[in-house]
Amino acid sequence: MKVTVIGGGLAGSMAAARLAASGRCQVTLYPGRPGSTALHSGGWYFGFERLKGEGALARAEAAFACLKRGLAELEIEAGPFRLYDEDGFQQKVDAAARTHRGALSEATPVLCLRGRGRDFARATGRPRLEVNWPPSDDQDRSSAFLARQLDRPEARGPLLEAIKASPLRGQGLLCPPILGVQAAAQVHAALEEAAGGPVVEALADTPSAPGLRLTRALSRWVIRAGVQISATPFFEVGQRDIASRFDEVFQADAVILATGGYLGGGLTSQRPVREAVFDLDLTPQPDDPIRAAGARGAGPLFEVGVFVDEALRPCDPSGRAHHPRLYAVGDVIGGPGPLGASARSGRAILTAYAVSEALLA
């Protein structure tokens, strides 16, 4: 079976890798921009306990197991890159509880690197553990750069020494999202040892280290599975009447639209918001997309997306599929979606799993 996947974020990569790894599909992926929405994330937690509906949790567990298997085969280092299952979720809840209820006490300092982090410390009323690291003021201080620096033992040495020497040692540490990309587990362990207590990575600025870890893992999975990557990263169709030109344009047995939402580029940010590739029908528009876009996380703009039917095929508001072999996965889908994912968390992997499962059946 020939399958075309448009968009190489979490949802598209997972669907493409799974289908190709089955040995039964020849998969072509238009990857778009690597990482995309995943690069905003501060960690990975799939929100499955919020799923509603019969069989939803079992489906979610199967999807999660599929992702874990796919990535585990590559021996991806776990570290603070966590695909939270129930235990992991509990850990996250515990970590949050420690942070907020006192076990990571009010005295737990915020790690401030050359002044960076002071605002966060001020906002949370916490003490600051100030370190002049990286060594020079001229150095890049983005999270991604610092995370890669910390991957290198010789570069992280001076930071660890400074933390150990601090009078605030022993209370744990709240860190910016910099706990390594490739050597995340070692970085986390080294910082915990230096800090003399638990180290918690705060939410991210982009690109985030957890997002980089996931992106790196996904692209390796896609390559290892034998997905054919299109030399043209972005798919563009000159004419938007997809139904009548489907076979001419794709020569594929199925097409999976995985272009993401507003952050990924699957939806335009101008008003009115539109689906960017085929101009498919969307769930209701927010009144004020600009304000909505400013809301972190689940603002109204993040709930806009294409209508889909039970089989995850984009459809018009009356429920008629635009094409029987066109599917949508991930953030490009609007509203809660038929799989009952009440929040965006977990939607990417749930829908990618569901469509690949259906195609392999």
Ligand X SMILES: Cc1cc2nc3c(=O)[nH]c(=O)nc-3n(C[C@H](O)[C@H](O)[C@H](O)COP(=O)(O)OP(=O)(O)OC[C@H]3O[C@@H](n4cnc5c(N)ncnc54)[C@H](O)[C@@H]3O)c2cc1C
Nearest approach, Cβ of residue 10 and ligand X (Å): 4
d(CA 144, CA 61): 31
Give the residue with the Cβ less far from ligand X, 25 or 255: 255
Give the integer Cα–Cα distance in Å for 290 and 269.
Answer: 8
Residue 275 Cβ vs ligand X, minimum distance, rounded to whole Å: 10
Nearer to ligand X, 36 or 108 (CB): 36
Neighbours of 162 (CB within 10 A): 17
Report in angstroms how near the CB of residue 70 gets to ligand X at its nearest: 15
Nearest-approach distance from CB 14 to ligand X, in angstroms: 8
- Residue 223 three-state SS: helix
Measured N-to-C along each axis, helices 143-151 and 209-225 cross at an angle, to the nearest 10 degrees, of: 70
- Closest to ligand X by CB, 194 vs 257, is 257
User: Are residues 235 and 277 in contact, defined by beta-carbon separation less than 8 angstroms?
Assistant: yes
What distances in angstroms separate CA 21 from CA 6, 83, 223, 292, one per listed residue?
Answer: 18, 21, 10, 39
Q: Cβ 289 to ligand X, closest distance in Å?
A: 16
According to DSSP H, which parts of 102-183 are helical? 118-124, 143-151, 153-165
Pick between residue 159 and residue 354 the one whose CB is nearest to ligand X.
Answer: 354
* Nearer to ligand X (CB atom), residue 40 or residue 156: 40
State the nearest-atom distance from the C-beta of 34 to ligand X, in Å. 6
Provide, rounded to whole angstroms, the least separation between the CB of residue 265 and ligand X. Answer: 4
Cβ closer to ligand X: 36 or 171?
36
Query: Which among 265, 268, 250, 267 is positioned nearest to 326, based on CA atoms?
Result: 250
Task: Give the whole-angstrom CA distance, residue 325 versus residue 302.
Answer: 26
Closer residue to ligand X, CB minimum distance, 149 or 259: 259
The CA-to-CA distance between both ends of the chain, in Å, stands at 12
CA pair distance 296, 124, nearest whole angstrom: 18
| CA atoms of 152 and 85, how far apart (whole Å) | 29
Which stretches of the chain bind ligand X, using CB under 6 A? 6-12, 30, 32-33, 36-38, 40-41, 43-46, 234-235, 258-260, 263-266, 276-277, 330-331, 344-348
Question: How many whole angstroms separate alpha carbon 128 and alpha carbon 208?
Answer: 22
Please say which residue, 239 or 318, places its beta carbon nearer to ligand X. 239
Q: Residue 290 Cβ, how far from ligand X at the closest point, in Å?
A: 17
If you search the block for the tokens 């008003």, which residue do you land on? Answer: 271
